[in-house]
């Protein structure tokens, strides 16, 4: 049987690792078509990577706290 926690964690980290690449490709393809200069793509990618990683860490922390509270109520 597949554990939902493992599947959720795999999906979460897949999103965290792949989202910056998808955004970078989107920016790279969009900006030349729009007639704009590509300005500091590395800054965009780095900022998005840090933001997405922080959101994932906070979400994971909240999930752990929630499960600890539920366990405390059940004991």
Q: What does the block give as tokens for 37?
A: 């200069």
d(CA 57, CA 63): 10
Each residue of 24-69: pLDDT tens digit?
777 777 666 556 655 566 667 777 777 888 888 888 888 888 888 9
* Confidence at residue 4, expressed as pLDDT on a 0 to 100 scale: 77
**Does the reported pTM lie above 0.75?**
no
d(CA 6, CA 3): 6
Per-domain residue ranges of the chain: 4-74
* Confidence at residue 53, expressed as pLDDT on a 0 to 100 scale: 82
Q: Is the pLDDT of residue 71 over 60?
A: yes
């Amino acid at each position: 049987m597949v554990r939902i926690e493992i599947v959720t964690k795999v999906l979460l980290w897949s999103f965290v690792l792949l989202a910056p690449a998808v955004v970078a490709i989107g920016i790279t393809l969009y900006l030349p078509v729009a007639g704009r200069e590509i300005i500091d793509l590395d800054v965009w990618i780095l900022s998005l990577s840090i933001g997405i990683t922080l959101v994932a860490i906070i979400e994971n922390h909240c999930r752990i706290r929630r499960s600890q509270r539920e366990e405390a109520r059940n004991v």
